[in-house]
């Protein structure tokens, strides 16, 4: 009888230990889920808007641009085959409206300063037309700006000349890949003629600085050259 009593007591003690352990595990899992939910809702979805809160200055982008240390990914203008607006030319190109917006963005880049800047474009009609509307006919076409993958930023750095900014006219999918690589997988699809700015330091390390949509340029202070 004594042995049976001891076995029953030991069994009850084990159950007393197991139940709190289960509750502690449930509490820990619940806490982790709550933290994950908070992070999902409050972690920035997109890179900072450079037109807000003096971000062009506070991120150091004006200084990086002046030093020729910036790579910019620009999405092409409004697609003709996705719009009811008048086409600029072929159906696989951009619209007249898209060309006008692209020209305005190009003029904004001009005010920022294009003296030490090279321009590459994806070889599609819409990106070539956009590059021409923004910067004239001097853009060089590069196939890696269309079939882009996770090596896109490495290829951009490899093509960037020292102390010269590099503007790449490309596609929303390419821009999304870069945003995902830099911690923004939930960023909205980039707008037509929007620009994603990346600074490259002297060791060749890239850091994402922020975005400008085409309407944001009007809110920028005049840069100090």
* pLDDT at 42 (0 to 100): 46
Structure letter (DSSP) for residue 83: -
Token reading at 103: 């020209």
* pLDDT at 125 (0 to 100): 98
Token reading at 72: 């910019």
* pLDDT at 40 (0 to 100): 42
Residues of the chain with pLDDT under 50: 34-43, 224-225
Pick the CATH number of 55-219 from 3.40.50.1240, 3.30.56.10, 3.10.20.440, 3.40.630.30: 3.40.50.1240
Q: Which residues of 119-146 are buried (b: 16+ CB within 10 A; e: fewer)?
A: bbbbebbbbbbbbbbbbeeebeebebbb
* pLDDT at 138 (0 to 100): 84
Residue 95 exposure: Cα atoms within 13 Å on the Cβ side: 14
* pLDDT at 118 (0 to 100): 97
Where do the H-state alpha helices sit in the chain?
2-42, 55-58, 61-67, 96-112, 125-135, 152-159, 172-181
* pLDDT at 34 (0 to 100): 47
Its pTM stands at 0.80
């Amino acid at each position: 009888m004594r042995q049976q009593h001891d076995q029953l007591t030991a069994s009850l003690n084990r159950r007393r230990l197991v139940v709190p352990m289960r509750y502690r595990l449930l509490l820990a899992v619940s806490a982790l889920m709550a933290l994950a939910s908070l992070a999902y809702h409050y972690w920035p979805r997109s890179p900072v808007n450079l037109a807000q809160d003096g971000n062009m200055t506070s991120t150091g982008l004006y200084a990086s641009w002046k030093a020729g240390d910036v790579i910019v990914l620009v999405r092409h203008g409004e697609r003709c085959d996705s719009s009811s607006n008048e086409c600029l030319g072929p159906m696989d190109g951009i619209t007249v409206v898209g060309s006008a917006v692209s020209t305005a963005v190009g003029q904004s880049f001009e005010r920022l300063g294009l003296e030490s800047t090279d321009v590459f474009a994806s070889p599609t009609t819409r990106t070539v037309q956009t590059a021409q509307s923004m910067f004239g006919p001097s853009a060089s076409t590069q196939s890696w700006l269309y079939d882009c993958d996770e090596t896109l930023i490495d290829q951009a750095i490899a093509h960037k000349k020292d102390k010269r900014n590099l503007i790449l006219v490309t596609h929303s999918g390419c821009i999304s890949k870069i945003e995902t690589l830099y911690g923004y997988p939930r960023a909205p699809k980039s707008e037509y003629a929007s620009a994603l700015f990346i600074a490259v330091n002297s060791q060749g390390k890239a850091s994402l600085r922020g975005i400008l949509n085409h309407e944001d340029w009007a809110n920028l202070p005049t840069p100090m050259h």
